[in-house]
Amino acid sequence: MSIRAEQDHVSALYGHLDAERAHAAEAFRRAQRAGGSGYGALMDREAGVEEQARRLTRLESVEEGLCFGRIDLHGGAPGDTLYIGRIGLRDDDREVALVDWRAPAARPFYSATPSSPSGLARRRHLYTRRRTVVGLDDEVFDLEGLSDDDRRSLVGEAALMASLRAGRTGRMHDIVSTIQSEQDRVIRSSLQGALVVQGGPGTGKTVAALHRAAFLLYTHRDLLERRGVLVVGPNPVFLRYIGQVLPSLGETDVVMTTVGGLFPGVRAEQDDGHRAAAVKGSLRMAALVEGAVRDRQRVPEGGLEVTGSGTDLFVDEDTCRTIRDRARELGVKHNAARTYFANEMLTALAQDQHDLLENSIREAEEAAAWDGAFKGVPELEDPDAPLWSEEDLQSARETLWEDAAVRKAIDGLWPDLTPESLIADLLSDADRLAAAAREAARISPDDALAPEELDALLRPAGAPWTVGDVPLLDEAAELLGDDGSARRARKRAEARRRQEAERYAQGVLEATGLSEQRTADGELVVDADMLSERNRYDGPELTTAQRAAADRTWAYGHVIVDEAQELSEMAWRTVMRRIPTRSLTVVGDVAQTGSAAGASSWTSMLERHVGSGLHEERLLVNYRTPAPIMEVAAAVLKEVAPGQEPPESVREGGDAPRSVRIAPGTWEERLPGVAEEEVRAVQSGEGAGDGDPDGVAGRVAVIVPDARHAAFAALLPEAESQASPEVLDAPVAVLTCTQAKGLEFDAVVVAAPDEILEQSPQGGRDLYVAVTRATRRLTVLHEADLPGMLVGLSPA
């Protein structure tokens, strides 16, 4: 079939797309005009508008590359040819004209290989530019004529190679037209249970995980639109890097965040130093946070003395301890148990007030009786009758609660706490840390932290939140429970809205004179209630994603964690709270773990949360790094993670990775020179500018030791070096290994590899990350001797 015949078919598909868009636009307008009054009708209307807006967005997002494939099943009957595209479309007779790439019928397009053709006679890739077909590429599954080597060939090899050759744009693109069969297996895995995708650098873990999100949303739309999908990535730059993939697949309603963003109201971006990170990420911190909460549930030494209602009151230490212990034993969270504690303490104080009063009356009585006897006055009656009734006691308690000194004293013993105040106070106060550790050792002696570990946690008051703090805040929130502030804020906002709506309604009635008008049977035409109901609703309901992101206790329908090897034990506790059903996709590479608290094995990290329900898939082919660079990386891998197999590169050849030795103290001269050379090489080489006609023609990263980041960035003033999304758009970026993780560049210059290796116990893994970021060129610049593991480089 010629390009012209395919063009006719593709043009017809765009015709159906236009018709669908026209329908959706009409439905959108209809939804906007939907009638009915009252809150419920308005909610329905907004939900309808929202749904149609989403449908329109989905239809708009598929304009480019609407149809990219065709499969011909064996048999050759008319229904045996299917066109595969970004969405499903039907023709005017309601027959399937285009199959959504996620539908089961599309599967052979991705799974067929020459040795296992899945019933296909042929697979065709269609290349389009805007609405024009510009090329075709066929694979005919004629097994008879193939050698063994050919049988192992890739899915849609020509299309894949064309896509991999394109220069990098600083944004990840979708791969719907070239998904490989091992990736397809990952993408279409069942929604249930925890799936771990382990794969070396460039094996498409990230891109496959994102396509999986799109696949799951398509296949389980009802559930996932209600409960939402959460994608957790390593940092905001990375989220920006991958941010276009799901929208280009028509999916916009997904929450994307980092571990630092999992606690609503806090946005932590800084990492801790290695020592602090290792301690903070350890599971033993759960006991320390519990210890910190218990440390705030105090018994006053020698008892509580306080002046309340003008009287010096006292509750002895034993009574205070009994009340504290009972409050703890209630089995409710700290802030809820505080109500009980405060009540019991008030009762004890009121009792003391009562006893004091009784004593003084008794004394007065005795004095009076003595006086009476002396003067012959009759005795006062019933010395045993209680002085105060239950109501008197209650009213004394209430009066005491109004007393600022009493409140302060009770607050000091069992304060209302927010997670933020608990953790900030704990980490900035050596005494509090030591006290929390003592309490923790009481509840969980095996989890004790050593004094030097407590030292590593200590930091100045007012220090910004770090990523490692977020799991501690989450842990604290679990133990403290609601402090009521969120509920109070919601109520205040609701009351404000209602007041405004009533004021507005009254204003409208007065201005229009409608308040006077009545129907024939004497009813008001419109009353203030009716009007204010109509206006109380201020704007569309939040989407599922927005509601989920704002709610710490939201239970998602599915969670995807990328670069998951970096998550600490504590971070996993936080993630798991968001997914009680454990429907998870975890993607990462334990050979790239850079965090001191990260994973060295998936089982040891995840088993306690998912038990035996862990299913592991491996991705073995590297689509990023050409074979010569991967050979260098493989030697590094052998040193840093001897058990791990390096992935096999699909791309052969390319420029030989090189090392450039510089004379001592000549970084200032040589680094800018080498970076400049690389920019020239990538901007003139193969694939330059293919990826993004409007953007930079080639991108270079200079990856440097942590301690040299500022100094080397200063040597390259034109380069982008801040950990902000701009690094994705600059021709040259200066990054640490942690910042470069997950990203890719046309050319990479690794500076001072010996220092990267030495910078932490994970230095070797950092180096592995650094040398696997390039799609075309790798240069290692060194002043000291080259580390032995970089043997494969050609000296320049």
Ligand X SMILES: Nc1ncnc2c1ncn2[C@@H]1O[C@H](COP(=O)(O)OP(=O)(O)OP(=O)(O)O)[C@@H](O)[C@H]1O
The verdict on whether residue 742 carries a ligand-binding annotation is no
Report if residue 623 touches ligand X, rule: CB under 6 A: yes
Distance of closest approach, residue 141 Cβ to ligand X, in angstroms: 19
Measured CA to CA, the distance from residue 286 to residue 472 in angstroms comes to 8
Draw the binding track, 590-609, toward ligand X (x: CB under 6 A; -: no contact).
--------------------
Report if residue 439 touches ligand X, rule: CB under 6 A: no
Q: Where are the alpha helices (DSSP H) in 232-297?
A: 236-242, 245-248, 274-281, 284-295
Helices 284-295 and 469-480 pack at an angle, to 10 degrees, of 50
For ligand X, the closer CB: 172 or 288: 172
For ligand X, the closer CB: 294 or 651: 651
Distance of closest approach, residue 70 Cβ to ligand X, in angstroms: 18
The verdict on whether residue 178 carries a ligand-binding annotation is no
What is the number of residues in the chain? Answer: 796
The verdict on whether residue 145 carries a ligand-binding annotation is no
Report if residue 583 touches ligand X, rule: CB under 6 A: no
Report if residue 617 touches ligand X, rule: CB under 6 A: no
Closest residue to ligand X: CB criterion: 204
Distance of closest approach, residue 647 Cβ to ligand X, in angstroms: 8
Distance of closest approach, residue 177 Cβ to ligand X, in angstroms: 8
Measured CA to CA, the distance from residue 207 to residue 210 in angstroms comes to 5
Distance of closest approach, residue 605 Cβ to ligand X, in angstroms: 17
3-state helix, strand, coil in the chain (%, to 5): 50, 15, 35
Distance of closest approach, residue 322 Cβ to ligand X, in angstroms: 57
- Element holding 256 (H helix, E strand): strand 255-258
Report if residue 228 touches ligand X, rule: CB under 6 A: no
Among residues 71, 97, 160, 605, the one that binds ligand X under rule CB under 6 A? 160
Among residues 87, 120, 162, 175, the one that binds ligand X under rule CB under 6 A? 175
Report if residue 290 touches ligand X, rule: CB under 6 A: no
Distance of closest approach, residue 118 Cβ to ligand X, in angstroms: 17
CA 20 → CA 60, 82, 298, distances in Å?
10, 20, 67
720 — phi, psi (to 5°)?
-90, 130
619 with 644: CB under 8 angstroms? no
Contacting range for ligand X; rule: CB under 6 A; set: 91-99, 127-135, 171-179, 252-260 = 171-179
For ligand X, the closer CB: 242 or 306: 242
For ligand X, the closer CB: 122 or 205: 205
Which two structure tokens, joined as six digits, stand for 52? 């149609």
Measured CA to CA, the distance from residue 244 to residue 357 in angstroms comes to 74
Among residues 161, 164, 191, 576, the one that binds ligand X under rule CB under 6 A? 164
Q: Return the residue matching tokens 């519990």.
A: 290
744 with 206: CB under 8 angstroms? no
Which two structure tokens, joined as six digits, stand for 690? 């293919």
Name the 3-class secondary structure at 528.
helix
For ligand X, the closer CB: 96 or 164: 164
For ligand X, the closer CB: 649 or 779: 649
The 3-class SS string of 432-464 reads: HHHHHHHHHHHHCHHHCCCHHHHHHHCCCCCCC
The verdict on whether residue 638 carries a ligand-binding annotation is no
Which two structure tokens, joined as six digits, stand for 486? 């969120």
Give the pairing type, strands 794-795 and 81-85: unpaired
Quick one: how many helices (H) and strands (E) in the chain?
Answer: 31, 22
The verdict on whether residue 464 carries a ligand-binding annotation is no
Draw the binding track, 180-219, toward ligand X (x: CB under 6 A; -: no contact).
x--x---------------x-xxxxxxx------------
Q: Which residues pair with 561 in a beta bridge?
A: 232, 586
DSSP string covering 625-679, please? Answer: S-HHHHHHHHHHHHHH-TTPPPPEES----SPPEEEE--TT-HHHHHHHHHHHHH
For ligand X, the closer CB: 478 or 562: 562
Distance of closest approach, residue 765 Cβ to ligand X, in angstroms: 12
For ligand X, the closer CB: 539 or 653: 653
Report if residue 178 touches ligand X, rule: CB under 6 A: yes
For ligand X, the closer CB: 572 or 768: 768
The verdict on whether residue 588 carries a ligand-binding annotation is no
Measured CA to CA, the distance from residue 406 to residue 425 in angstroms comes to 23
Measured CA to CA, the distance from residue 287 to residue 446 in angstroms comes to 10
Which two structure tokens, joined as six digits, stand for 383? 């010395």
Amino acid identity of residue 471, one-letter, is P
Distance of closest approach, residue 459 Cβ to ligand X, in angstroms: 31
Residues near ligand X (CB under 6 A) are 160, 163-164, 172, 175, 178-180, 183, 199, 201-207, 589, 623-624, 742, 744, 772
Residue positions in the annotated binding site for ATP?
Answer: 199-206
Residue positions in the annotated binding site?
Answer: 199-206
